[in-house]
Structure 1
Amino acid sequence: MGIWGWPWGRRGLSGFGSASTAEDIAAGIDASHLTAIVTGATNGIGKETARVLALRGANVIIPARTLESGLKVKESLAEEVPSSKLHVMEMDLSSLDSVRTFAGSFNSSHKHLNVLINNAGIMACPFQLSKDGIELQFATNHLGHFLLTNLLLDKMKSTAKETGVQGRIVNLASTAHRRSDGKGFDLNKLNNESNRKKDVI
């Protein structure tokens, strides 16, 4: 068993396992009729997800904290996938106003949304509050995605109704919760720095 409690590389009922790549899973899929938003696509898993979706023909929207960082990723991905349809839009998940602005802009400029992949996240950052006065990690990983999903839900429903293609919302999470002390955290003290010191946020 691996350190996180699962046998490394074992395949599940789907035929895929921890050793499967995004290209393996998406092999043979034509996504040219799909529009997808991938948060956290400027690096890591999110960037690879955006790359493979673009490789399969999807129209991929990359929200980025700054347009500069997003455009660098777009350029990098376009070199690997010259036929890619990538669009960068500014959004800071830790700011509720920024999320609202992004969603409003997307809803007015794009007719369809088929796939929303809530991948972005921060972890083990120094204690600080977001612009809205909320503990930064909770604001980014949870509240930002919750608001984003709610603001895009009607677009996804209308897309499914118009196209006959069922949409998908994918929420990614870390296995770091396995390292918790099991006590959870007190929502009434969410913004209390002492919670971070006790490693329960």
Structure 2
Amino acid sequence: MWLFSRKGSSGFSGYSTAEEVTQEIIGNGLTAIVTGATSGIGAETARVLALRGVHVIMAVRNMAAARDVKEVMERDIPSAKIDAMELDLSSMASVRKFASEFNSSGLPLNLLINNAGIMATPFMLSKDGIELQFATNHLGHFLLTNLLLERMKRTALDSNREGRIINVSSRRHQLSYPEGIRFGKINDPTGYHSLSAYGQSKLANVLHANELARRLKEDGVEITANSVHPGVVDTDIFRHHSLFRGTAS
């Protein structure tokens, strides 16, 4: 437990809350997209960003749940500016539709938080015929980021404020399949292991952020890209593994 309570160079520890970490931040004038913002880490991220004055776009699959979450946030934070837009990351058509509608809105985009994800599901294919965890956790976010990148570049240039892209990954990226990402067997059920497939998708998140960060720096663009391990938190992502739910609690 001492590892979590020990403060790092930032002055915060594993027990620090999002409200504590953002205490000095003024987000007025910023716009953020948070995927998977109806529960867990995504909902808390959206709430605290709204609390700090950021205009939050909740990119969600379940619009009914989004309306409920939005209502609670607006009740608790009267000044909150929150909107919800439909996004199913497992469908490339849905990703393209979301990006097109957002780009047509004329809104700036300072922060893109690729948070949504699923974990350790039985073998399933997405609507596009891609293994569901890889499609949802990586490919959907990869396409979304690419389709919104020009808007982010324009926003950074016009506002003279550094943009941020965050891929919420997991330390499980270290425990993918032995060969890392099984590029030739993504959709092959043979040898499928639910947790290794999850690790594979999270490894892809990390590699995406690393390469994107390199390219942005090389091009002199004022946008950073990072992947983060959010810790082990008891959220709905563990719904396919009750053992993990108990451990996280």
Inter-partner Cα distance in structure 1 for 2:115 and 2:106 = 21
Query: For residues 195 and 27 of structure 2, what CA distance do their matches in structure 1 show?
Result: 41
Stretch of structure 1 that moved more, 150-159 or 183-192: 183-192
| C-alpha spacing 1:134/1:181, structure 2 compared with 1 (3 Å) | closer
Contact 1:36–1:60 (CA<8 Å) still a contact in 2? Answer: yes
Residue number among 3, 11, 17 corresponding to 1:7 in the alignment: 3
Identity rate, percent: 55
In structure 2, distance between residues paired with 1:73 and 1:15: 31
Q: Deviations over 1:130-166 (max 9, x none)?
A: 0110000000000000000001100001001111111
Distance 2:18 2:195 in 1: 33
- Cα distance in 2 for partners of 1:189, 1:182 equals 13
Normalised to the residue count of structure 2, the TM-score between the two structures is: 0.74
The equivalent of 1:16 in structure 2 is: 12
In the TM superposition, what is the alpha-carbon distance from 1:198 to its structure 2 partner? 7.4
1:181 CA displacement: 6.3
SS in structure 2 of the partner of residue 7 of structure 1: helix
Aligned residues of 1:185 and 1:200 also touching (Cα < 8 A): no
Cα deviations by residue, 1:20-59 (Å, 9 ceiling, x for unpaired):
1100111021101100001111100110000000001110
SS of the equivalent of 1:88 reads strand
* 1:34–1:199 Cα change, 3 Å: closer
- Structure 1 stretches of 5 or more lacking a match? none
Partner SS state of residue 140, structure 1? helix
In the alignment, structure 1 residue 147 sits paired with structure 2 residue 143 = yes
Unaligned runs of 5+ in 2: 198-249
* Alignment match, 2:25: 29
1:62 paired to 2:43: no
> 2:106 and 2:113 mapped to 1: Cα distance?
17
What is the identity, as a one-letter code, of the residue corresponding to 1:36? A
Query: Which residue does 2:223 correspond to in 1?
Result: none
Residue 35 of structure 2 aligns with which residue? 39
- Residues 194, 9 of structure 1: CA spacing in aligned structure 2 closer, same or farther, 3 A cutoff? farther
CA contact (8 A) 1:65 1:92 kept: yes
Partner Cα distance (2:49, 2:13) in 1: 19
Match of 1:172 in 2: 168
Match among 106, 129, 135 for residue 102 of structure 2: 106
Q: How far apart are residue 199 of structure 1 and its match?
A: 4.8
SS, match of residue 194 in structure 1: coil
Per-residue CA distance 1:40-87 (angstroms, 9 max, x = gap): 111001100000000011100001113212111111211221211000
Larger deviation, residues 185-194 vs 156-165: 185-194
Deviates more, 1:6-15 or 1:145-154: 6-15
Count of residue correspondences = 197
Say if 1:89 and 1:181 are closer, same or farther in 2 by CA, change over 3 A: closer
Distance change in 2, residues 1:150/1:117 (3 Å): same
**Greater helix proportion:** 2
Question: Which whole-Å CA distance do the structure 2 matches of 1:23 and 1:198 have between them?
Answer: 34
**Aligned partners of 1:106, 1:114: CA distance in 2, in Å?**
13
- Residue 128 of structure 2, aligned match among 119, 129, 132: 132
Match of 2:76 in 1: 80
State the distance in 2 between where 1:18 and 1:11 align: 8
C-alpha separation between the residues in 2 aligned to 1:86 and 1:121? 21
Equivalent position amino acid for 1:31 in 2: G
Tell whether the 8 Å contact from 1:11 to 1:17 is kept in structure 2 after alignment: yes
Question: How many angstroms does 1:182 deviate by?
Answer: 4.1
The answer to whether the aligner puts 1:53 opposite 2:58 as a matched pair is no
Code of the residue aligned with 1:11 in structure 2: it is K
